[in-house]
Amino acid sequence: MKPYSKIQYISQGLTLDDQYNNIRMALDKGVNWIQLRWKEGNLVNIEHLGWLIKELCKEYQAKLIINDHIHIADLLNADGVHLGLQDDAIAHARILLGKDKIIGATANTLQDIQLHIQNECDYIGLGPYRYTENKKNLSPILGLSGYLSILAKLTQEANCPPIYAIGGIQQEDIEELFNIGVYGIAASNFIHQLKYTDIQEFNVQYG
C-alpha cells in the first residue's frame, strides 16, 4: 500500500478566487493532499486554476489530484486524477497518465469497489456517509450501517486499495470511522472548520 495521507481536501468554491483561497487555507492548515474539484468551472478556467494550484502544492510540498478531467491532469503533470461513478474509465486514465500516477475512484456499493479493484485503482472514496450540499445527484446515503456492511465484506477481497470516507463527514464521525476500518477522510466543509493544531493532532493520531 502506498503511504497516502490520511486526510484529503476536496476543494470547493463557485469562483476561481474562492477555489484558490480555500485551497490555500487548507494548505496553511497543514493538509498535504488536495483534490481540485470545480464543477462550476469551464475547462479553460479549470486548467488555469490547475496551474495556479500546482504551484501552490509545489510550495507546500502537497499532492495534487484533479477531479474528473484526465486530460487536464495529464497536461499539468499532476499527481493523479479522481474519477466519479459516471466519469471516464480507470483503464483509460491509466493509459493516458501512466502507471506512476494516482488514480482514485468514487464508490457507493460493494460492487463499485469490486469493479475498481479489478481495474486496479489506487484508492477509493466511499460514500456519501451522510447528506452533503457539495454534490449534486447524490448517491444513496450509506451511514454507519452501510459502511459497516461494506467494510466487513471487503475483508474477503485481496488487494483492496485504501478506502476514504466521503460525504458530509463531521469531526465527531472521525474516531468511529477509523475504528470500523476506513483508511482516511476526504472532505470539504469539515476541513474548513478545523484549525492548524487540529490537523496536526489528526496526523499524529491517525497518520
Q: What is the pLDDT of residues 110-147, one digit of tens each?
A: 999 999 999 999 999 999 998 776 666 667 899 999 99
Q: Name the pTM for this structure.
A: 0.93
Is residue 137 in some structural domain? yes
pLDDT per position as a tens digit, 193-207: 999 999 999 988 987
The model's pLDDT over 32-86, given as tens digits with 9 standing for 90+, comes to 999 999 999 999 999 999 999 999 999 999 999 999 999 999 999 999 999 988 7
- The angle subtended at Cα 34 by Cα 41 and Cα 170, nearest 5°, is 100
Residue 122 within a domain: yes
The answer to whether residue 157 sits within a structural domain is: yes
- Domain with residue 131: its CATH number is 3.20.20.70
2 in a structural domain:
no
Residue 201 in domain: yes
For the chain, what is the domain count?
A: 1
Q: Which domain holds residue 168?
A: 7-206
DSSP secondary structure string, 107-145? ESSHHHHHHHHHTT-SEEEE--SS--TT-SSPPPP-HHH
Angle between helices 43-60 and 16-28 (to 10 degrees): 20
138 found inside a domain: yes
Q: Judge whether 1 lies within some domain.
A: no
Q: pLDDT at residue 186 above 60?
A: yes
Q: Is residue 24 part of a domain?
A: yes
Is residue 1 scored above 60 in pLDDT?
no
